[in-house]
Amino acid sequence: MPADKALIQTIGRRKCASARVRMLPGSGKIIVNKRAFEDYFTTESVRGFVMQPLVLTGKSADFDIFANINGGGIIGQAGALRHGIARALEKNDESLRATLKPAGMLTRDSREKERKKPGQPGARKRFQFSKR
């Protein structure tokens, strides 16, 4: 890998969460908000979701990943980190785009929570209608 591509920085987003991802050549360790990956994401299914781009491309032991995540909940943060990792892998090696794009990992999931409207209890829910 060329010297100018040693450090790769990307941003991944999902819902209200935003993940700043720094990827360096290394042994495969992941640090999230200065904590170990296993300590931050305690559920095995969430960890598997985050690791999808690395497993799909076969690069899980090639890079060290350092991420700072703000906003959202655990699932949104996991989606943001997954998006950031996929973008970093694509930035490192353009040929991985053919693998990551059909799997939907380079596309930002734009679904966000709809705002609550005035005079209603929620975004769509209405108070019970009373004719009399």
Which residue range(s) make up the domain with 76?
A: 3-100
Give the predicted TM-score (pTM) of the model. Answer: 0.88
Query: CATH number of the domain that 60 lies in?
Result: 3.30.230.10
Residue 10 resides in a domain: yes
pLDDT reported for residue 5 = 55
The number of domains in the chain is 1
> What are the pLDDT digits (tens) for 54-111?
999 999 999 999 999 999 999 999 999 999 999 999 999 999 999 999 999 999 999 9
Residue 127 resides in a domain: no
Residue 56 resides in a domain: yes
Residue 43 resides in a domain: yes
Residue 25 resides in a domain: yes
Residue 64 resides in a domain: yes
What is the Rg, in whole angstroms, of the alpha carbon atoms belonging to the chain? 18
Residue 81 resides in a domain: yes
Residue 120 resides in a domain: no
Quickly tell me which residue has 């353009």 as its tokens. 94
Q: Contact 64/23 with Cβ under 8 angstroms?
A: yes
| Biggest alpha carbon–alpha carbon distance for the chain | 76
